[in-house]
Amino acid sequence: MNRILSALCVSLTLGSPLSAADRWSAPSKAQIDAVYPQVESLYMELHRSPELSLHEQKTAATIADQLRRLRFDVITGVGGTGVVGVLKNGEGPTVMIRAELDALPVLEETDLPYASHVTTKDDSGADVPVMHACGHDLHMAIGIGTATLLAQNKDRWRGTFIYVGQPAEERGLGAAAMLKDGLWTRLPRPDFAIAVHDTSDLPAGKVSYTPGYALANVSSVDVTIFGRGGHGAVPEETVDPIVIAARTILAWQTIISRENSPFDPGVITVGSIHGGTKHNIIPDQVHMQLTVRSYKDDVHKHLLDAIARIAKAEAEAAGAPKLPLVEVSETVRSVYNDPVLTQRIAGVLKQALGDANVMQAPPEMAGDDFAEYGQAGVPSLLFSVGAVNPAKFEAAKKIGEPLPGPHSPFFAPDRVPSLYTGIEAETTAVLELLGKK
């Protein structure tokens, strides 16, 4: 924590081509200290009161209220429950930050004094617990910290700053819904889009960035294999869909090993298979659920086409009475961090936090619909903020023990340094793009 507080004293050099006399710095440690209590209080309030995707009414109202207090122009109900705040400050670039509103159907087991005890009904009507298990509460609070500092320091920048509170990231629906609802036609189209995401792969106080492909295309695929059921004692009178499914699963793996270039990563995982009810009954059908991941769009299309082709071929080879049903859903496109923007922001983050605390990270096969903003043609960057207590991180590293990460019921960001570093890093990034002579 001492490192973080001392680092906040460091002046942030913006616009490296400018002379020393022309450079503009980010808000001081004292200014960040002044807004921190408000940000921390908001974070804990959001953590206590999570809401599921597409149902973020109270969360959106809370964010809208925060932005109105800062004298932002606020629009609600964008793409469902999305909320947007716009702060105009003369001529200059338009910079957008994205923060996610939604939480997960996870039972929190952190024992935090501000832990969630919320339960609700999901879209199927089932009672489910709800938890901010992915750090979206952290992202929202960091964004409000950044918005507050920009509102308080309008002499340091020129242009338009946009806070986007996006719904339904966990279902990959929110970004596309906001764009379809006119996010960039009803509001200024940004010149740059920035987002932060917490990670358990780094201790609090450090950040990481990935130029180019950072996160993957992700699709959920449901495959139903049809057979002809019967008694397990007379298999010759049946067409066994379990055997067809087994052959299909093995054949799918050759898509990666024999049809795809090893230089273009791809993943096909069968995460669920269900068929049959009893030892001696051959069922009529088997249902499988797959996750399919890649970076490049053409690779992703090939993986999906090949899954359907092989499923059909295996069914025909077995004499199945009906071709399989293959359904693709919940597709999220790959996050591509604009390389020029990424290196630009990485440079000022290193000046702010120190070279040792800013590092390049390899791409991951996780997904995030922040991709939609970049895919729509806006130079974008999603970078990571460490969220693990540094002492716990080092202890776990020494013994090789995995730490709870996003989507775990035990995931609890180290609140103070994670918020401080997130505010400093995001504000630094935005001021680099909006800073003026």
pLDDT digits (tens, 9 = 90+) for 81-98: 999 999 999 999 999 999
At residue 25, the pLDDT reads: 56
Q: What is the DSSP string of 181-235?
A: TTTTTTSPPPSEEEEEEEEEEEETT-EEE-SEEEE-EEEEEEEEEE-B-EETT-G
Are 324 and 351 contained in the same domain?
Answer: no
Residue where a domain stops, chosen among 271, 300, 332: 332
Report yes or no: 333 and 219 within 8 Å, Cβ to Cβ: no
At residue 302, the pLDDT reads: 98
Dihedral (Cα; 102, 88, 431, 373), 10-degree rounding:
40
Are 158 and 95 contained in the same domain?
Answer: yes
Q: Which portions of the chain are predicted below pLDDT 70?
A: 1-27, 436-437
At residue 436, the pLDDT reads: 59
Are 35 and 130 contained in the same domain?
Answer: yes
Are 310 and 360 contained in the same domain?
Answer: no
Are 195 and 128 contained in the same domain?
Answer: yes
At residue 27, the pLDDT reads: 63
Q: Are strands 380-388 and 192-203 parallel, antiparallel or unpaired?
A: parallel
Place of tokens 């069922």: 283
Catalytic position from the list 102, 108, 198, 372: 102
- Provide the 8-state DSSP code for 400: T
Residue where a domain stops, chosen among 312, 332, 352: 332
Catalytic position from the list 108, 169, 368, 369: 169
CATH number reported for the structural domain that contains residue 380 in this entry: 3.40.630.10
Residue where a domain stops, chosen among 311, 332, 353: 332
Are 67 and 190 contained in the same domain?
Answer: yes
Question: Could you tell me the residue range of the domain that residue 221 belongs to?
Answer: 217-332
Are 198 and 222 contained in the same domain?
Answer: no
Structure tokens at 298: 């053409």
Are 306 and 185 contained in the same domain?
Answer: no
- Rounded to 5 degrees, what angle do the CA atoms 10, 35, 425 make? 45
Are 10 and 65 contained in the same domain?
Answer: yes
For residue 33, indicate whether it is catalytic: no
Are 93 and 189 contained in the same domain?
Answer: yes
Tell me the one-letter amino acid at 282: I
For residue 102, indicate whether it is catalytic: yes
Are 122 and 227 contained in the same domain?
Answer: no
Task: Domain count for the chain, please give it.
Answer: 2
At residue 29, the pLDDT reads: 81
- Could you list the beta-strand ranges (E) of 61-154: 73-78, 82-89, 94-100, 119-121, 127-129
At residue 16, the pLDDT reads: 38
